[in-house]
Amino acid sequence: MLNKKNTYKKLNQPVANSKLAFWQTKSLYEMTQTEWESLCDGCGKCCLEKIEDEDSGKVYTTKISCRLLNLETCKCNEYKNRFQYMNDCIKLTPRKVYSISWLPKTCAYRLVKEKKPLPLWHPLITKNPNSTLHAKQSAKEFAVHPKLMKHHLSTYILEENV
């Protein structure tokens, strides 16, 4: 049995770097392709349509989804060939994460950039690829397919960055 002194000593030992996960130790630029891909939580919130204010340059996210987003799974229906269908679809890179202003506040790439922890529901933490959906953190909760749009896109602007 440990005495009080030994317990204190053990709790205060520095955590070895090898115990930390890759997203805690590597920058976005240093990740392998597999690590980079696994960082995406699959929320689909970056696949929502946006509008830019021509005067201020501010970008607003709407609840209207890209027409290729499957609103049940929050996956792209044509991921491999998406640029053939959607020429404004953006391939996220470390450089883009630093330059884009509209990434969702829960986006794991943005969180790593801002040196913030991943949420407890992130698939890398739960080890469950569907945990973002299960935690109701995906676009599925509120997104509207463009086929169901009845008014101008600007009427669907989200009040808060999701």
* Binding positions for ligand SF4, rule: CB under 6 A: 40-47, 66, 68-69, 76, 82, 86, 89, 92, 104, 107-109
Give the span between the Cα atoms of 48 and 28, in whole angstroms.
23
Closest distance of CB 151 from ligand SF4, Å = 21
Closest distance of CB 155 from ligand SF4, Å = 21
Nearer to ligand SF4 by C-beta: 100 or 157? Answer: 100
The answer to whether 74 and 140 are in contact (CB under 8 A) is yes
Nearer to ligand SF4 by C-beta: 23 or 44? Answer: 44
Measured over the CA atoms of residue 88, residue 92, residue 96 and residue 102, the dihedral's sign is: positive
Instruction: Tell me the two tokens of residue 34.
Output: 């597999």
| Alpha helices (H) in the chain, listed in sequence order | 4-11, 22-25, 33-39, 82-85, 94-99, 108-113, 123-126, 131-134
Nearer to ligand SF4 by C-beta: 40 or 125? Answer: 40
Nearer to ligand SF4 by C-beta: 4 or 91? Answer: 91
For residue 90, what are the contacts with CB-CB under 8 A and spacing of at least 6? Answer: 46, 96, 100
Closest distance of CB 149 from ligand SF4, Å = 15
